[in-house]
Amino acid sequence: MKSKILVAAAVAAVASTVHAQSSVTLYGLIDEGFDFTNNVVGSKSYSLQSGYLQGSRWGLKGSEDLGGGLKAVFQLENGFDVNNGRLGQGGLMFGRQAYVGLSTIDYGAITIGRQYDSVVDYLAQTTANGSWAGYLFSHPYDNDNTDNTFRVNNTVKYTSPTLAGFQFGGTYSFSNSTNFANNRQYSAGATYTNGGLLIAAAYLQANNPSATAGGAINNGGDENFLGSRLRIFGAGVNYTIDKATLGLSYTNTDVADPVSSAYVGAINPTGGGASNLRFQNFEANAKYQFTPAFYAGLMYYYTRATLKQPSQTTHPNYQMVGLMGDYALSKRTDFYLQGAYQRVGGDETGSVLDVAYVPGADGVSSNGNQLVVRAAIRHKF
């Protein structure tokens, strides 16, 4: 009897040790709400929409201690639409993230799979949509991908440890094609934090984005602009003072030979095919935590676009104001109310770029103005 007790105790001890060295977490989030759009091709729109403040999701993530400070890590994350139960990201099973890799405290992490690029990892957090406001507050057509319009496939990513407040990293996404550069992507970014100060910068380039189904940016589930080359770079700063957080950011997006946008379709200017489309986005945002349960935020951006055509160069511009409040009923459940108003001005291009479109609206406006209001609930599990 005594020997059986000792064996059982030994087995229990080993099982406890293994459990302590490995972990797997199942998690998720549901974001569902009611949207009103004042002008969708001249008509009002009322609809239920999923995943605006944060994309609705469920996922698995975990790690295994391999000894000597080395860990194996993985994450599988699915996106879905609460209203119809369909998969997000073009119907991909793990469309949000799917990767495996190795991580150490001293040297950082290397991960391989479908992941976020450096603009999302480093720069996006200095914008309102990339931190506390979500989809509705994105820059026109999410041209700079700060709201994750696309993820990158076939990607090797390095993330450094944080050293004296400084962290950096980068990605390289293979085209998985005999034409090595056809639909590949690479990016790099960095952040510096010191007390309430956060400074971030990032750069991304994609060659022939969405040109192939198996490349870095998938034309079935990911795309912001279709063209021969996409370049994004920018920098931003956040500063937190007591309950207030103030932010400024600048991003620059350059699309060579633009064909279409995932949000508004074909870009067919009256003067003929365009050789280049550029967006310069200037944003100021502020968030104030009135109580532990309630915060309010305000955002304004000005975007100057440049469309180069064979016969002319035009400069439409976009201005938007966004306001929101969020009230937490618990650590896992909150209600929020948002409003976003966009106005388009400047030169006319003779294309869809001349009318307003707030990302998340049911469609483009019939003129240069559009208002979207959203009331929603978010639950985390």
Classify residue 135: in a domain, yes or no.
Answer: yes
pLDDT (0 to 100) of residue 183: 96
Classify residue 13: in a domain, yes or no.
Answer: no
Q: pLDDT tens, 239-297?
A: 999 999 999 999 999 999 999 999 999 998 887 789 999 999 999 999 999 999 999 99
d(CA 5, CA 160) in angstroms, rounded, equals: 47
d(CA 138, CA 265) in angstroms, rounded, equals: 18
Q: What is the mean pLDDT of the chain?
A: 93
Cα separation of the two ends of the chain: 45
d(CA 216, CA 173) in angstroms, rounded, equals: 5
Q: What distance lies between CA 51 and its chain's CA centroid?
A: 12
Classify residue 49: in a domain, yes or no.
Answer: yes
Domain containing 165 — which CATH number? 2.40.160.10
Distances, alpha carbon 293 to alpha carbons 121, 289, 296, 326, 335, in Å:
27, 8, 11, 8, 10
Classify residue 327: in a domain, yes or no.
Answer: yes
Predicted TM-score of the model (pTM): 0.91
Give me the domain span that covers residue 357.
Answer: 25-380
pLDDT (0 to 100) of residue 102: 98
Classify residue 149: in a domain, yes or no.
Answer: yes
d(CA 236, CA 244) in angstroms, rounded, equals: 17
DSSP 231-294: EEEEEEEEEEETTEEEEEEEEEEEEES--EETTTEE---TT---SEEEEEEEEEEEEEEEETTE
Classify residue 184: in a domain, yes or no.
Answer: yes
Minimal CA–CA distance to 222: which of 76, 175, 214?
Answer: 214
Classify residue 364: in a domain, yes or no.
Answer: yes
Classify residue 349: in a domain, yes or no.
Answer: yes
Q: In the structure, what pLDDT confidence band is assigned to residue 328 with cuts at 50, 70 and 90?
A: very high
Q: Per the structure, how many domains does the chain have?
A: 1
